[in-house]
């Protein structure tokens, strides 16, 4: 691992186009480009409202953003505590394995600790072996007995109007 000076900061309105670019790159990485609907116009009212619905961390090396993490608050009724949901974590290919992802997760863990969160959770594609290995190295447990359930698009309207 390189000895980089990695700075983590919260995104600002001026970073909006950069965030859109990172989301696009993440969708390429995930093979989900056909589902990409994020635009600056759609993101701005959710990222920069008060309070924000979602927060974005940017990882910078030598003043250049090289990775990001999208997260928001959730809650566990079992723990009776707030939690954090990590929606996206992405590091540009040339910077992977150099501590950037670890720095983003560490910063997120510090936020979770400061806000008394009971856990930080996220999903990882079962085919992303390097990602799974990275998360396990950070102390994450990969839960085999939990499955993501999703209702989206027209299925939301269908269920809402049954």
pLDDT in tens, 71-99: 999 999 999 999 999 999 999 999 999 99
- Which is it for strands 81-91 and 120-121: parallel, antiparallel or unpaired? parallel
Instruction: Work out the number of other CB atoms within 10 angstroms of the CB of residue 104.
Output: 23
Confidence bin at 142 (pLDDT 50/70/90): very high
* Cα dihedral 46→125→8→84 (10° resolution): 60
The confidence score (pLDDT) of residue 69 equals: 98
Overall pTM > 0.85: yes
In our burial notation (b when 16+ CB lie closer than 10 A, e otherwise), range 113-146 reads eeeebbebebebeeeeeebeebbeeeeeeeeeee
Task: Please give the share of the chain, as a percent, with pLDDT higher than 90.
Answer: 88
Q: Which residues are catalytic?
A: 135
Mean pLDDT over residues 112-135, rounded?
Answer: 94
Give how far the C-alpha of residue 151 lies from the chain's centroid of Cα atoms, to the nearest Å.
20
Distance in angstroms (rounded) separating the CA atoms of residues 42 and 63: 27
């Amino acid at each position: 691992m390189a000895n980089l000076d990695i700075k983590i900061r919260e995104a600002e309105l001026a970073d909006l186009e950069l965030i859109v670019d990172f989301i696009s790159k993440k969708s390429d990485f995930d093979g989900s480009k056909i589902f990409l609907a994020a635009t600056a116009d759609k993101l701005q009212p959710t990222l920069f409202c008060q309070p924000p619905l979602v927060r974005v961390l940017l990882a910078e090396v030598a003043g250049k953003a090289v990775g990001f993490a999208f997260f928001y608050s959730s809650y566990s009724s079992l723990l009776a505590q707030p939690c954090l949901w990590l929606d996206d974590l992405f590091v540009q290919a040339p910077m992977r394995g150099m501590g950037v992802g670890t720095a983003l997760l560490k910063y997120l863990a510090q936020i979770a600790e400061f806000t008394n969160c009971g856990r930080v959770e996220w999903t990882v594609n079962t085919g992303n072996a390097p990602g799974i290995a990275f998360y396990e190295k950070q102390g994450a447990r990969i839960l085999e007995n939990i499955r993501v359930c999703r209702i989206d698009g027209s299925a939301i309207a269908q269920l809402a109007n049954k």
